[in-house]
Amino acid sequence: MIIDGKLIAQELKDEVKAKLAKMDTKLTLLVIMVGDNPASKVYV
């Protein structure tokens, strides 16, 4: 059996997109920086 990863990924994306379209809230991303390490700021 051959598994088509791209097809599975697209199906999952479509499913998530449909569920998000039904939601009344807007999704956001929040980052909380603790400390003042300059190396950590690279990832934010």
The pLDDT tens digits of the residues spanning 17-43 come to: 999 899 988 888 998 888 888 888 887
Checking if the pLDDT of 10 tops 90, the result is yes
Can you give the pLDDT at residue 3? 95
Distance in angstroms (rounded) separating the CA atoms of residues 13 and 40: 30
Say yes or no to pLDDT of 44 above 80.
no
Find out whether 31 and 44 touch, Cβ atoms under 8 Å. yes
Q: SS3 of 1, please?
A: coil
Domain range summary for the chain, segments of one domain joined by +: 5-41
